[in-house]
Chain A
Amino acid sequence: MTHEHLAHGDSHHHESPQHHSIKNGFLPWVKGWLFTTNHKDIGTLYLMLSLLMLFYGGGMALLIRLQLFQPGAHFFDPNFYNVLVTVHGLVMVFGVIMPAFVGLANWMVPMMIGAPDMALPRLNNWSFWILPFAFTLLTISLFIPGGGPNFGWTMYAPLSTLYGPPSTDYLIVAIHLMGISSVLGAINIIATITNLRAPGMNWMKMPLFVWAWFITAFLLIGAMPVLAGVVTMVLFDRHFGTTFFNAAGGGDPVMYQHLFWFFGHPEVYIMILPAFGIISEVIPTFARKRLFGYEFMVGAVAAIAILSYVVWGHHMFTAGMAVGTQLYFMYITMLIAVPTGIKVFNWVGTMWRGSMTFETPMLFAIAFVILFSIGGFSGLMLAIVPADYQYQDTYFVVAHFHYVLVAGALLSIFCAVYYWLPKWTGRYYNETLGKWHFWLTLIGINLTFFPMHFLGLAGMPRRITDYALQYAEFNAVCTIGAFLLGFSQLLFLYNLMTTIFGKGKKANDRVWEGSHGLEWTLSSPPPYHSFNTPPNMATLEGEMDHKFEKVLDHH
């Protein structure tokens, strides 16, 4: 559909490889993208998959909201509604947020540390091309007799074991594939950052996006195999007569929850730490100030990552837990507010007395700081054990995690795309359309998810296909907001595609007035193989000195 446009884009970068244009033949185009080992190509593939999945999972979200627009079961039978909720969650987590961050890492990490490519390029190709198969399997599962997976993205036993439909097995294999992909991707990122930093790029000179991804990669290696393990146990319980999660055979369904959330909580930080990195890149650029408190920003990310492994119990306060254990999980969860607070404080500190301008990426970054903080506060409320007994499994929880994942992770991805798109394509996106996209998205998010707080406090349970009459008004508002949010993403799609295919003002190397870092010393678009010779030491020092304000600077 966009083949003609693709040809337009090609005329600008002369050194582009064959497969960047379909004009050079369809087969070379397919083969080129299929076998590419270039970090930029693979980054683009990840981001494109994520974009596709955004509309896939977003479409499901709109169907969910359509059903909930008015009380009464209108459109879908309850089982299909449950399937929608399950697959929406899985697609958004594993298909949108995670691939988008991995794509950004692929594009930016080598350019930011002055490397020619990722450390393990062929592994990189493999990590990506596993994913389309995983999501094809997930989609096939919707059409298996007995219906798609219908137990929520958390796949709790015994819903997924004794009561799971046959399609559950497809989902399990899909999750295995996603797990393999993420772990390989994470190993690659660690190897790249450890081994391929340009001379002079020592650990405490690394940009925060690189730091955030370095730490996230460790979370991925530690957490994803646990998910793979626990779904394997579900598979065993389903088919091989084991009773890991079946009390009748001496197992315990609560152990499923412990194992799942031992993965699940690091997972939520996998989905937010790269966002912290992006925001830490964008705010200094448009505040035209160095990032405040660099060491503390790095330390805070590390502290959050370590804490994320020891707080999983706060997802299960009502599942049967001794009082002492509940108290431990409550206090340790609240402790996470300290490093997170440091981050928010330092972002605000960076903006303080800066010469700020409000281009689209900056607008998204500021919205991220504010809305993510709201999501953080509702998280603190949920961490309070007695309050959680009230909020558990209500729309308050739904509001909370959509504030951190949509207003947090997704906004940061938009922010990153607008910020680096001129670097990637050599052209500016349409600023007016970008601002329209921002404001409509901002209004859409708040209209959709803010009323859910009140619905939850009023007692509306999650995962229901119909609800009591007193919740009707707020649900109608949520649905209107959701459609506004959903359709305003078409603006983003249009703006993105026209920029990729050659519309828009040409960008210089620097792109933004206040941008600093190695990626901005390359041409826009960057050469297919960047930093074949390491960057000049003096350039590197200069860029990094303009990037951060170090508290413990000895120079």
Chain B
Amino acid sequence: MPEKKPHRKIFIIGGVVATLMFGFCFAMVPLYSMICKATGINTSVPSSELVTKTPVDANMKADLSREVTVQFVTVNNMGLPWDFYPQVKSVRVHPGENVKVFFHAKNATEKDMTVQAIPSMTPTESLSHFHKIECFCFTQQALKAGESKEMPLIFNVDKALPKNIGVITLAYTLFDSTPKVTKEVKKG
């Protein structure tokens, strides 16, 4: 019979590699968001930082020669029972001017809840030219049962926006971030 030692060596190496590959899956969790954030490869990574919050030059004059349509879309994640919609579906803005719009939110449930709105934007080329000065998405929004609120968004689109972009769509997805969820997990 052949010697047993080399078999054991291969078995151990193979087992270690297999275990490492199993662990690789879980290592991907932090790595994935790091890679996506660093490179911007996956534009769907939820990050309000993608929308730049640069201060606006007060002296900047609006570019009256052209208008851009900004559309607002709202989605409730996983059938979240809130009323959540923009007061205006779209606005036409001159690049450079500040615009204020309101989003209506109502906690239609019978318990107090906290939510977080996560933005995403198309086309992606407009990301660096769309500046939010004030936004309800910067913080979590807590509403008591049945309470409603008009939530402001002040933004401007800068003049460097590429000329071929005529429509910008800003979508907000409302996520339930009521702290209760995490408590349940701890209990379980």
Contact = CB atoms under 8 A, between A and B. Distances in A.
Nearest to A246: B78
A322 B21 contact: no
A187 B25 contact: no
Given A233-B25, A248-B175, A258-B28, A190 B14 contact: yes
Contacts of A241: 184-185, 188
Interface residues of A, number: 41
Contacts of B33: 252
Contacts of A224: 18
Contact of B18 (A221, A232, A254): A221
Given A187-B10, A221-B14, A229 B25 contact: yes
A248 B11 contact: no
Describe B's contact surface by its main secondary structure: helix
Nearest to B186: A241
Contacts of A240: 185, 188
Given A190-B10, A225-B19, A241-B188, A258 B32 contact: yes
Secondary structure at the A interface, as helix, strand, loop or mixed, is: helix
Interface in A310-339: 320-322, 324-325
A535 to B, nearest CB: 15
Contact of B14 (A186, A195, A223, A244): A186
Contacts of B25: 225-226, 229-230, 232-233, 259
Contact of B176 (A226, A248, A259): A248
A316 to B, nearest CB: 10
A221 B42 contact: no
A258 B31 CA distance: 12
Interface stretch (B43-51, B61-69, B87-95): B43-51
Nearest to B32: A255
A145 interface: no
A194 B6 contact: yes
Contacts of B181: 249
A322 B40 contact: yes
B11 A187 contact: yes
Interface in B137-188: 173, 175-176, 181, 184-185, 188
Nearest to B22: A225
Given A222-B17, A222-B21, A224-B18, A119 B7 contact: yes
B44 A233 contact: no
B18 A247 contact: no
A241 to B, nearest CB: 4
Contacts of B24: 225-226, 229
A187 B21 CA distance: 14
Contacts of A195: 2, 6-7, 10
B58 interface: no
A322 B42 contact: yes
Given A221-B17, A320-B44, A244 B22 contact: no
A250 interface: yes
B188 A191 contact: no
B22 A226 contact: yes
B133 to A, nearest CB: 26
B60 interface: no
A251 B24 CA distance: 17
B185 A191 contact: no
Contacts of A162: 78
A250 B46 contact: yes
Contacts of B185: 240-241
8 contacts: A119-B2, A187-B11, A187-B14, A187-B18, A221-B18, A229-B25, A250-B46, A259-B28
Given A221-B18, A324-B41, 11 more contacts: A183-B14, A187-B18, A190-B14, A191-B10, A224-B18, A226-B24, A233-B25, A252-B32, A254-B44, A259-B28, A322-B39
Interface of B: 2, 6-7, 10-11, 14-15, 17-26, 28-29, 32-33, 39-46, 77-78, 118, 173, 175-176, 181, 184-185, 188
6 cross-chain pairs, A with B, having the tightest CB-CB distances, nearest first: A229-B25, A241-B185, A187-B14, A225-B21, A225-B22, A191-B10
